[in-house]
Amino acid sequence: MPNALFDKKNVIVAGGAGFIGSHLCEELVRTSRVICVDNLITGDIENINHLLKIPDFKFLRHDISDPLDLDHYPELEVFRVKFQGIQEIYNLASPASPNDYSKYPLETLISNAYGTKNLLYLVLKYKAKMVQVSSSAVYGSPYYEDPYFREDYWGYVDQLSPRGIYAEAKRYAESLIAAFYRSYKLDMKIARVFNVYGPRMRYTDHRLVPDLIRQGLEGRTIRVESGADDVYSLCYISDIVDGLIKIMNHHFTGPVNLGNPDKVTVREAAELIRKLTNSSADILYNEGEAIRQGLPDITLVREKIGWFPLIKMEDGLKRTVDYMKAMKGVLRM
């Protein structure tokens, strides 16, 4: 009953204690009742502590690889789930950082397979809408000189590598969405998220932005695993959250890219972060074989849904540096 006439929607955010999920919960709870579901394997309760006292926010510690029966949670009675049902589901439940999917390869595969299936049965039960938060990893490696990925691109994936396991897990989850759509004609969408950064990223996440900020704040030589001229796409978290909500609220059902299409070299990011962290340290690059990062072609999402990123890189990085500076010493490792 996605169009039910209730004062507020009931919304499930699976993986809601993670980096992106917590920001999504924070925005959704302004207008909806939010049920945050997370097993806290890679999510962090600290990300949602400030939301726990809000009456319209409930946290369920649950692994969605196991079926989720909302009738078993008496704390949800105030949301009238038995009567109102669930209107929207966002699925972000998966290890997503290189550290996490390397450490939890089985959990990565199982959460994207069984977890996605279990949420899809909730979509079927409640006639809810769903956004599957996928990844640019599904595209694999770029074949051509043009680094921009359109939604119809399909590249090479080494399914036996740690990143390949993550990519294949995300591909399989998308296939489940497609199969359920063909079978039941439910309202389901796919958002393929590219590199995103912002507050609540883990301090030692082995991603470009937190690695650079950590070394800058620690005042030591900034060592970068990429070459100075390698190209990245960096999108600030609030833009991604805005995109996910716009996708949910729009009738367009095709997969769309979410990311910042502006090319950023590793040198540009490193020098800006060195400046923002007031570091005078040297920057050492790894000038081996170039790392080819795909960039998002956002033509489709801009034309169909009207989304495009608004936050400039310097503004977003300043907010992220300020957060990590304030939280240094208490951030989860």
Q: What is the pLDDT of residues 252-291, one digit of tens each?
A: 999 999 999 999 999 999 999 999 999 999 999 998 765 6
Confidence of residue 63 (pLDDT cuts 50, 70, 90): very high
Look at residue 313 in the predicted model and tell me its pLDDT: 98
Confidence of residue 2 (pLDDT cuts 50, 70, 90): very low
Overall average pLDDT of the 14-24 stretch: 99
Confidence of residue 5 (pLDDT cuts 50, 70, 90): low
Look at residue 289 in the predicted model and tell me its pLDDT: 61
Higher-confidence position of 145 and 74? 74
HEC profile of the chain: CCCCCCCCCEEEEECCCCHHHHHHHHHHCCCCEEEEEECCCCCCHHHCHHHCCCCCEEEEECCCCCCCCHHHCHHHHHHCHHHHCCCEEEECCCCCCHHHHHHCHHHHHHHHHHHHHHHHHHHHHHCCEEEEEEEHHHHCECCCCCCEECCCCCCECCCCCHHHHHHHHHHHHHHHHHHHHHHHCCCEEEEEECCEECCCCCCCCCCHHHHHHHHHHHCCCEECCCCCCCEECCEEHHHHHHHHHHHHHCCCCCCEEECCCCCEEHHHHHHHHHHHCCCCCCEECCCCCCCCCCEECCHHHHHHCCCCCCCCHHHHHHHHHHHHHHHCCCCCC
Look at residue 324 in the predicted model and tell me its pLDDT: 93
Confidence of residue 147 (pLDDT cuts 50, 70, 90): confident
Look at residue 1 in the predicted model and tell me its pLDDT: 44
pLDDT, tens only, 120-140: 999 999 999 999 999 999 999
Look at residue 206 in the predicted model and tell me its pLDDT: 83
Query: Would the pLDDT of 332 be above 60?
Result: no
Domain ranges for the chain, please list them.
Answer: 10-193
Query: Would the pLDDT of 142 be above 80?
Result: no
Look at residue 279 in the predicted model and tell me its pLDDT: 96
Look at residue 154 in the predicted model and tell me its pLDDT: 84
Look at residue 329 in the predicted model and tell me its pLDDT: 57
Query: Would the pLDDT of 218 be above 90?
Result: yes
Overall average pLDDT of the 293-316 stretch: 97
Look at residue 290 in the predicted model and tell me its pLDDT: 59
The answer to whether 143 is a known catalytic residue is: no
- CATH architecture under which domain 10-193 falls: 3-Layer(aba) Sandwich (3.40)
Pick the catalytic residue: 139, 166, 197, 236? 166
Going by C-alpha positions, the residue among 311, 296, 292 that lies closest to residue 261 is: 296
Mean of all residue pLDDT scores within the chain: 93
* Contact between 35 and 12 (Cβ < 8 Å): yes
Look at residue 333 in the predicted model and tell me its pLDDT: 45
Look at residue 231 in the predicted model and tell me its pLDDT: 92
Query: Would the pLDDT of 144 be above 60?
Result: yes
Confidence of residue 188 (pLDDT cuts 50, 70, 90): very high
